Amino acid sequence: MAARLSHDDELSENHEINVTPFIDVMLVLLIIFMVAAPLSTVDVKVDLPAATAQPAPRPDKPVYFTIAADRSLSLGNDPVTLAGLEPALARLTGGDTEQRIFLRADKSVDYDTLMQAMNALRAAGYVKIALVGAEGTGGR
């Protein structure tokens, strides 16, 4: 198909690439993504329900990091600040950053406070964070 007749009636190879099918495919993909992208964003505000999943088994000595309703922080039963969180965690876990930290927060705690606490845990090197919810509450 992509051959030309030369002056001596023999077929010679055409070394030009036909990019038309490639451009057609790219335009179809572009249209698909332009239509699908707005559908993937969610702007609906929801009040998430409590989880009904079976609780996972807890370790022998779990490390609880708690955010109270008044935004005060505590590690176990001891009050702590975000600045003093890293040394307190190292002391409590023996420096084991692979240990899971159980994060409990009052339901009135705003998202920004929760994310600041999670960022402080991550900055201290603790990336295994479990969010603790109320057990046995199947709904409202």
104: domain CATH number is: 3.30.420.270
- Whole-model pTM over 0.75: no
Q: What is the pLDDT of residues 24-51, one digit of tens each?
A: 999 999 999 888 877 766 554 545 556 6
Assess if residue 80 is contained within a domain. Answer: yes
- Tracing tokens 């572009």 back to the chain, one arrives at 30
Assess if residue 88 is contained within a domain. Answer: yes
Contacts of 97 (CB under 8 A, 6+ apart): 124, 125, 126, 127
What confidence category does residue 140 fall into, taking pLDDT thresholds of 50, 70 and 90?
Answer: very low
Contacts of 66 (CB under 8 A, 6+ apart): 73, 74, 75, 103, 104, 105
Average pLDDT, the chain: 79
Amino acid 28: pLDDT = 94
From CA 22, how far away is CA 120, in angstroms rounded? Answer: 48
Assess if residue 17 is contained within a domain. Answer: no
Q: What is the pLDDT of residues 56-75, one digit of tens each?
A: 666 778 888 888 888 888 88
Assess if residue 127 is contained within a domain. Answer: yes
Q: Which domain covers residue 113, as residue numbers? A: 63-132
Query: Which residues are bridge partners to 101 per DSSP?
Result: 63, 129
Assess if residue 122 is contained within a domain. Answer: yes
